[in-house]
């Protein structure tokens, strides 16, 4: 695409942005001098998560820890509790690690360069580019999935070129302005979320339709991933119909630091064998299901009434319903607990 054509597209995109910019709490009017800490938190939260889903969590998170040093002094369990329900909990752990590293090694000041940022936990190429561009006004080719889609479509790239990182970066260099590259990137993101959407783009009302080489046949159809099924049995130990038992996962494991209802390991294709039996054990009628990516998680629940807390030999904690707000719980664990407490 010629320099003249790129210049025309830039002007149209930026004009659209001025009139249609999303009002997001981490943004500023200039779009290239955002609060670095707000930018860091929002970009980590937005990894694999839609803006509308992250908004509520972001606002609560910033209210609790308004700056990097306050987060660095926090407790990881509190951070995971605040993150509960947002998913991909390794992001929370990495954000916490990053805050501590910056506090200890960078005097609490978030680095303003790509080279230092890329070395921090949970920060990849896109996130490092976004922070340097959005928060510090440095020129950077910021390419997320929305911008990748935009560059591919406007240039009419074929299936192979769409996944060619070097080619996309080269086209990005020609398209992104040397000044205000962050504003331009966010303009494309808003345009792509509104008009140039992944599915069913609004090409008929698009102001770039005469400049665009998009052809549906050029886009590679995504193969539908076969849904895998995994099965588990959990035991809801309850004492005096008030207290129930939870285990804490090892911090180094998947969902590390989260609390869960104890049970069997997950098994593919078939249900695990019932490993233990109690006199007061009763199976609940409903199987709890939760879809995680392309995996269908299915859980059978056995409610076990215990006469003495010491009857349970596993390591864990006894909690009441009021304690739950202070514990990091996955969505699946919350569903299991809610069902157990509601079913008589």
Question: What is d(CA 211, CA 246) in angstroms, rounded to the nearest whole number?
Answer: 58
Q: Is residue 275 pLDDT above 90, yes or no?
A: no
Residues 44 and 153 in one domain: yes
Query: DSSP letters along 75-106, please?
Result: -HHHHHHHHTTT--THHHHHHHHHHHHHHHHS
Question: What is d(CA 242, CA 321) in angstroms, rounded to the nearest whole number?
Answer: 8
Q: Looking at residue 15, which CATH number applies to its domain?
A: 1.10.340.30
Question: What is d(CA 155, CA 312) in angstroms, rounded to the nearest whole number?
Answer: 63
Give percent of the chain above pLDDT 90. 65
Q: Is residue 323 pLDDT above 80, yes or no?
A: yes
Residues 199 and 232 in one domain: no
Residues 67 and 214 in one domain: yes
DSSP 3-state assignment of 328?
coil
Cβ atoms 23, 118 nearer than 8 A: no
pLDDT band per the 50, 70, 90 thresholds, residue 178? confident
Helical (H) or strand (E) element with 314 = none
For residue 341, what pLDDT is reported?
A: 84
pLDDT band per the 50, 70, 90 thresholds, residue 301? very high
Question: Does residue 233 sit within a domain?
Answer: yes
For residue 222, what pLDDT is reported?
A: 62
Q: Looking at residue 314, which CATH number applies to its domain?
A: 3.90.79.10
Q: What is the mean pLDDT of residues 39-51?
A: 94
Q: Is residue 162 pLDDT above 70, yes or no?
A: no
Question: What is d(CA 54, CA 46) in angstroms, rounded to the nearest whole number?
Answer: 7
Residues 158 and 200 in one domain: yes
Question: Does residue 110 sit within a domain?
Answer: yes
Question: Does residue 140 sit within a domain?
Answer: yes
Question: Does residue 291 sit within a domain?
Answer: yes
Among 218, 238, 259, residue at a domain's last position: 218
Q: Which two tokens stand for residue 155?
A: 């240039």
Question: What is d(CA 135, CA 115) in angstroms, rounded to the nearest whole number?
Answer: 15
Q: What are phi and psi of 225, to 5 degrees?
A: -75, 135
CA angle in degrees (0–180, nearest 5) for 89-44-67: 105
At a CB cut-off of 8 Å and minimum separation 6, what does 93 contact?
Answer: 76, 79, 80, 121, 251, 256, 257
Helical (H) or strand (E) element with 318 = strand 317-319
Residues 73 and 113 in one domain: yes
Q: Is residue 41 pLDDT above 80, yes or no?
A: yes
Q: Is residue 42 pLDDT above 80, yes or no?
A: yes
Question: Does residue 223 sit within a domain?
Answer: no
Q: Please list the residues that pair with 259 across neighbouring strands.
A: 248, 329
Question: What is d(CA 9, CA 212) in angstroms, rounded to the nearest whole number?
Answer: 9
| Mean pLDDT taken over the chain | 90
Residues 277 and 198 in one domain: no
Give the total number of structural domains in the chain: 2
Among 218, 247, 262, residue at a domain's last position: 218
For residue 220, what pLDDT is reported?
A: 62
Residues 156 and 208 in one domain: yes
For residue 180, what pLDDT is reported?
A: 87
DSSP 3-state assignment of 247?
strand
Residues 198 and 266 in one domain: no
Give the residue with greater pLDDT, 47 vs 292: 47
DSSP 3-state assignment of 126?
helix
pLDDT band per the 50, 70, 90 thresholds, residue 164? confident
Residues 213 and 233 in one domain: no
Q: How far is CA 214 from the centre of its chain?
A: 29
pLDDT band per the 50, 70, 90 thresholds, residue 254? confident
Q: pLDDT of 96-105, one tens digit each?
A: 999 999 999 9
Question: What is d(CA 42, CA 147) in angstroms, rounded to the nearest whole number?
Answer: 18
Q: Is residue 198 pLDDT above 80, yes or no?
A: yes
Parallel, antiparallel or unpaired: strands 317-319 and 243-248: antiparallel
User: Which burial class, exposed, middle or buried, applies to 151 when counting CB atoms under 10 A from its CB (0-12, 13-18, 19+)?
Assistant: buried
Residues 24 and 61 in one domain: yes
Question: Does residue 78 sit within a domain?
Answer: yes
43 catalytic per annotation: yes
Question: Does residue 172 sit within a domain?
Answer: yes
Q: Is residue 135 pLDDT above 90, yes or no?
A: yes
For residue 223, what pLDDT is reported?
A: 61
Q: pLDDT of 199-225, one tens digit each?
A: 889 999 999 999 999 887 766 666 667
Question: Does residue 321 sit within a domain?
Answer: yes
Q: What is the mean pLDDT of residues 41-58?
A: 94
Among 155, 184, 218, residue at a domain's last position: 218
Range of the domain at 69: 3-218
Helix, strand, coil percent values for the chain (each to nearest 5): 45, 15, 45
Residues 60 and 200 in one domain: yes
Give the residue with greater pLDDT, 317 vs 160: 317
- Annotated catalytic residue: which of 43, 170, 260, 314? 43
Residues 25 and 128 in one domain: yes
């Amino acid at each position: 695409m010629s320099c003249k054509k790129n210049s025309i597209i830039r002007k149209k995109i930026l004009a659209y942005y001025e009139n249609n910019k999303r009002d997001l709490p981490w943004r500023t009017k200039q779009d290239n001098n955002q609060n670095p800490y707000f930018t860091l938190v929002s970009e980590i939260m937005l990894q694999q998560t839609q803006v509308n889903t992250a908004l509520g969590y972001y606002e609560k998170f910033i209210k609790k820890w308004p700056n990097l040093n306050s987060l660095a002094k926090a407790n990881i369990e509190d951070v995971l509790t605040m993150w509960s329900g947002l998913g991909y909990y390794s992001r929370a752990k990495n954000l916490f690690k990053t805050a501590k590293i910056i506090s200890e090694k960078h005097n609490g000041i978030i680095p303003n360069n790509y080279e230092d940022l890329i070395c921090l936990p949970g920060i990849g190429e896109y996130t490092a580019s976004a922070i340097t561009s959005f928060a510090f006004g440095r020129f950077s080719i910021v390419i997320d999935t929305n911008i990748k889609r935009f560059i591919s479509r406007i240039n009419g790239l074929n299936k192979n070129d769409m996944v060619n990182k070097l080619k996309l970066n080269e086209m990005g260099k020609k398209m992104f302005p040397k000044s205000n590259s962050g504003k331009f990137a966010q303009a494309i993101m808003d345009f792509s979320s509104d008009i140039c959407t992944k599915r069913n783009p609004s090409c008929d009302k698009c102001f770039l339709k005469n400049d665009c080489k998009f052809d549906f046949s050029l886009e590679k159809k995504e193969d539908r991933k076969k849904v895998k099924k995994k099965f588990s049995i959990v035991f809801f130990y309850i004492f005096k119909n008030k207290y129930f038992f939870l285990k804490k996962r090892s911090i180094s494991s998947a969902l590390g630091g989260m609390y869960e209802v104890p049970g069997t390991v997950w098994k593919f294709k078939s249900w695990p064998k019932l490993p233990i039996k109690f006199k007061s054990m009763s199976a609940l009628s409903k199987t709890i299901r939760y879809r995680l990516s392309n995996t269908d998680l299915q859980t059978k629940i056995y409610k076990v009434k215990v006469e003495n807390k010491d009857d349970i030999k596993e390591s864990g904690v006894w909690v009441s319903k009021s304690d739950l707000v202070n514990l990091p719980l996955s969505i699946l664990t919350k569903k299991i607990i809610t069902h157990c407490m509601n079913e008589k």
